[in-house]
């Protein structure tokens, strides 16, 4: 079945350092979504990528979708303490429509 792998599982950075999390799917995806979950909260949608090779930016966050539509990345420039949380990628199957999440990357930022 469809699997979505995400690395690393944890990342500790000093405030101001950059951060990247990577996502790989075992199957081609119709789209990929990214979510952020603050400690004790629920996942909140950040962005959706649909096109092969697509790059989108939200302030200090840059999202990429691979050419083969099987991998994606989230890069945060100059992290801040407000970036703390767990970042999930989620792949939507074009066949079934189900949304499969990666294991998530938990980001800790030291001030």
Partner 1 sequence: NAGVTQTPKFQVLKTGQSMTLQCAQDMNHEYMSWYRQDPGMGLRLIHYSVGAGITDQGEVPNGYNVSRSTTEDFPLRLLSAAPSQTSVYFCASSAMNTEAFFGQGTRLTVV
Where on the chain is the footprint of partner 1 (CB under 8 A)? 1, 6, 9, 30-31, 33, 35, 42-45, 48, 88, 90, 92, 96-104
Residue 96 C-alpha from the chain's centroid: 21
Residue 94 C-beta: closest distance to partner 1, Å: 9
Kindly state the DSSP code that residue 11 receives in the 8-state scheme.
E
Closest approach of partner 1 to the CB of residue 107, in Å:
15
Of 80, 81, 78, 84, nearest in space to 41 by CA: 84
Nearer to partner 1, 100 or 109 (CB): 100
Which CB atom, from 12 or from 15, has the smaller least distance to partner 1? 12
Residues in CB range of 95: below 8 A, 6 or more apart = none
- In the complex, the smallest distance separating the C-beta of residue 16 from partner 1, rounded to whole angstroms, is 28
Kindly tell me which of 7 and 68 has the beta carbon lying closer to partner 1: 7
Contact between residue 42 and residue 27 where contact means Cβ atoms under 8 Å apart: no
């Amino acid at each position: 079945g469809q699997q979505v792998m995400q690395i690393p599982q944890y990342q500790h950075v000093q405030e101001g350092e950059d951060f990247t999390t990577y996502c790989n799917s075992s199957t081609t995806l119709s789209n990929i979504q990214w979510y952020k979950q603050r400690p004790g909260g629920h996942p909140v949608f950040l962005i959706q990528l649909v096109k092969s090779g697509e790059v989108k930016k939200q302030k200090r966050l840059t999202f990429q979708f691979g050419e083969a539509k099987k991998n994606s990345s989230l890069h945060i420039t100059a992290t801040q303490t407000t970036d703390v949380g767990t970042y999930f990628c989620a792949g939507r199957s074009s066949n079934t429509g189900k949304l499969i999440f990666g294991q998530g990357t938990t980001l800790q930022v030291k001030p």
